Amino acid sequence: MDIFAHPISTLAGEPGSLEQYRGKTLLLVNVASKCGLTPQYSGLEELQKTYEARGFSVLGFPCNQFMGQEPGTAEEIQTFCSTTYGVTFPLFEKIEVNGDGRHPLYADLTSVADADGYAGDIRWNFEKFLVAPDGTVSRFAPQVTPEDPTLVSAIEGALG
């Protein structure tokens, strides 16, 4: 699995990939602006501020596949995230994380099982994938908040 090789555009529409993040500790999250879990943006931004100097970044991937909870345009998503939650971490183009249109990045990620042994389709907004600098991936359910000690411990462990 090489999640860094898949082409993906930024939220602003600039083509690219995750290659610039290779060797860093990353938390990839499928996000949505109109979800009961949307307040997790605050915790994700706190993780970004706490650990970015140590080679960590949250990467957000807007997705509208769960009850249409991310209906906005790229501009609306960016404005909402920055003005409502002060998000500074990178956001990428709106993608599909399940089904026939699943982005190749998520085709790779969904093969990873979480601590309960669940692998396969993304269950809801704010499912999290921690990628260690060596490429090892750990999966966390949507209900695992950014402040959850299990997630924080995993991030700190990956950072070394």
Beta strands in 7-101 (DSSP E): 25-31, 56-62
Compute the distance between CA of residue 38 and CA of residue 28 in angstroms, rounded to an integer: 15
Compute the distance between CA of residue 21 and CA of residue 29 in angstroms, rounded to an integer: 15
From the list 35, 37, 74, 112, the catalytic residue is 35
Query: Would you list the DSSP string of 131-153?
Result: E-TTS-EEEE-TTS-TT-HHHHH
Contact 47, 29 (CB under 8 A): no
Q: Retrieve residue 89's tokens.
A: 């971490």
Compute the distance between CA of residue 117 and CA of residue 128 in angstroms, rounded to an integer: 15
To the query of whether residue 81 is one of the catalytic residues in this protein, the response is no
Main-chain dihedrals φ then ψ at residue 41, nearest 5 degrees = -55, -40
Catalytically active residues are: 35
